[in-house]
Structures are given as C-alpha cells and as structure tokens.
Amino acid sequence: MKKLTLFFCLISLFSTLSFSQKPKKKVHKRAKKVIVISPKITESVASKETVNQGICGSIVWKSGNLMPSPDQTPVKAKPVQRELFVYDLTTTEQATLQDGFYKAIVTNLIKSVKSDSEGKFCMELPEGRYSLFVKEGDKGLYANQFDGEGNIFPVKVSKDKVSIIVFTIDYQAVY
C-alpha cells in the first residue's frame, strides 16, 4: 500500500512540475519589445517587414465534425489565404448580420490586408480598439468572436506593441 501511495505522489508531483512551466519570452520577428506568447502562436506568425505597433497573426479554417471522440484524432486547423478587414471597434448593433455573415458595417474601415498562402498576416495600426472581419467571397464578412459588451472580434492595439491574433473561420464546423 505504501508503494502505491508513493507511486501516486510521484506522478502527482511530476504532473504539477511539468504543467506549471511558465511560457517562454520570445521576441516576435516584427516587434521591438519582448512579448509573452505561446509557442504554437509563435510558429504561425512570420514577417517579411518590420511592424512596431499593430497586429500580426494567422487565419485558419476549420470544418466538419469537430466533436471530441476517443476513436477520432483531433482535426487541425488549416491555414488559408483571405482578406482581413480592420474596422473601428464595431458592436453588433452597428453591423447587419444576414445568414451568418455581415453585409453592412456602419463604422469606418481602417485598413485591410491579405494573408499569405500560410495564412500569415501583419499590419501597422495606430493605438486603439478595432474589430476584425474576413471576407468570405460573395457571402460577406465573417467574424465569430465577441466580448461581453457586444463588440465584434475586438482587438486592442497598445503603444509600441504587436497584438498576436489567430482568426479561426469555422462556420462549417460542428463542435
């Protein structure tokens, strides 16, 4: 019984130590300041030019049955090339939603950028709060994140910092 108890104590200690590691600080290729980001996001972000303040990240696609199942391996998101639109911070009341896509947005369009073939993008932006949308062909603009105040895919850009974004397009996925 003592050996069994000791065994479970060692497993518990090992688990605690292995899961309590802090994320490593990495310098984003486009950022001058050190920011803490997860290794998975770091791998999905690259740059050809320097961005000192703004947003960088990737756009990925998920579709199909994504319900967890013991006999099914998890589906990975696929990087996609899309046009990303940055608007002034937009609430659900300031945009017209039709069939899951936004058809009209009354706030100002600030900037747009196309992601590369690996889904990566980067753009300079002034300090402020913004809403992000991706263009889905003739269907309209798509966004799937909201905050508690009704803002659509809100992003904050702080002075001399780069915000890291992963935009997941998943309107054809079932969770």
d(C-alpha 139, C-alpha 129), whole Å: 26
Q: What percent of the chain has pLDDT over 90?
A: 61
**Domain CATH number, residue 127:** 2.60.40.10
* Cβ count within 10 A of residue 152: 24
Q: Are 74 and 91 in contact (CB under 8 A)?
A: no
For residues 75 and 87, the model is more confident at 87
* Reported pTM: 0.71
d(C-alpha 162, C-alpha 122), whole Å: 9
Confidence of residue 32 (pLDDT cuts 50, 70, 90): very low
In Å, how far are 85, 116, 133 from 130, measured between CA atoms? Answer: 10, 22, 10
Number of folded domains that form the chain: 1
pLDDT number for residue 88: 98
Is the alpha carbon torsion for 22, 24, 28, 33 positive or negative? positive
Domain range spanning residue 114?
2-174
Strands 162-174 and 54-65: parallel
pLDDT number for residue 49: 59
For residues 111 and 36, the model is more confident at 111
Q: For 50-72, what is each residue's pLDDT tens digit?
A: 899 999 999 999 998 878 888 87
Q: Are 85 and 104 in contact (CB under 8 A)?
A: no
